[in-house]
Structure 1
Amino acid sequence: MNQNPDQTTTGSPSGAKSSPSKRRHSSRPAGRASHAARIAAWAVETTERAEEQTITEQTSAVQNITSSPSPLETLKLLLEAQRGHDLTRVGSTYESLRGIDTVHEGLILSCQLGESLNEKANRLGQWVAAGVTHIVDCRIEDSDEEFVALHAPHITYIYAPTDDDGLEREPEWFDGALLDLGTALTDPDSILLVHCAAGINRGPSMAFRLLLEAGWEPVAALNAIREARPVTRVIYAPDALMHFYGERIWSSDSDVAEVAS
């Protein structure tokens, strides 16, 4: 990473008849252009190598950490893993989105029920068969609360709407879901299914926050989500982490500046 491109100098061809002053004058622009070209090529090569890293390699690097990171170091690691995963995320096929993916015995990730009544009925039947007791719907654009109340009234429906605009999530989003879930978070008989539209950002980010509440370490929680549902991006995970740790995560203004950079 600290390597610099090889720096070489260019000279005039042997036997050139120009004067020394002219040789020096004419070689400078060529040398600078050549040096700039090498730097540009090195930068492109470095970027390409970074983009070729797989999420498996990043996960392995996370697991090789021998010391317990501080909250700030954990956040840095989380952001670094997030950036890399965004580059290497697997394709979002129909089947991968429609999966009912178990993160652990009490938490499931999926996407919305569907568009047609038949599709909704079939998928709700799958959720019931999986033993789901609570649904956390993170979509702001739609809600299936009435449909679930009609066809599976034993399931508690929690509506935690937010937009998938890539902006920072407000604390109220997490507060509302945690409040509505209440003791379900600690009830061993509860099975929570968290979803949004596609099950890529909002739902997995909320699930990440719920895992933190349940005592999971941040990196372990993030890895569990991605292993269970590889299509996830979890782009609001840093907001969930900040919500969980609150002000304790920052020890000084310089820490904030360091992460922001």
Structure 2
Amino acid sequence: MTQLAQIKAFTKPLIANLAKLGISNLQGLLLHLPLRYIDETHITAIRDLRMGDSAQVEGEIVHAEVSYKPRKALIARLEDASGQLTLRFLNFYPSQIAALKVGNQLRVYGEVRSGFFGYEMVHPSCKAVGQKTQVAETLTPVYPTVAGLTQPNLRKAVGIALALDQLPETLPASVYQNMRLPSFSASIHALHKPLPDADLQALENRSSPYWQRLAFDELLAQQLSMRKHYARRRSVSAPQFKLSKT
């Protein structure tokens, strides 16, 4: 079981934060699976947004200000070729003010809400983009985490672990194929990096074949452990006591 401390790509602060999640080795990291996913594989035109949807849009900041009515907030207007969208931040930092400077090109993801001036997103995720910035090729995982460990850093750590390809198969191929289940490696990769056309509902409610494969492995491990303990108990003879005659 390879320890994270043995891998140069894992810094001491990252290892310390992962330890808060009970993760100290590659296996633990690979089995730290997403809670849900967001779809950043395509860009939606602002005019095509629908209230209540979560979407990714891209455009230029054409206005930004810190407003104090009705409460302090950082408000910006993002414009693409089809329209404008309000971005609202109730808690913000100087770095966010700089990122939302007029003229900056941004890609934002968030839930579409109805605001005073049309559709808006409150506290969307934002990233600067250039002409050659590509959209994601897979759905973006959202992991259980702790303070100090951001989602981007956790995704990067999992990506390193996947690239090392230390995912030995736990079952004979005939067993999982007979049950119409995927391989262990395919399951881990599909859960961390689902393709855009993956069944999102099945992934999130854990009914997909990939989740079923891991559930089968877990159940099998429990059964084998119980059998091992049972066999161990059977192999130990109980001490014999001689009854004394009184």
TM range (shorter): under 0.3
Between 1 and 2, higher relative CO (CA 8 Å, sep ≥ 6) is seen in: 1
Counting helix residues as a fraction of each chain, which structure ranks higher?
1
TM-score of the superposed pair, with normalisation by structure 2: 0.22
Per the normalisation by structure 1, the TM-score is 0.21
Structure with a larger share of its residues in strand: 2
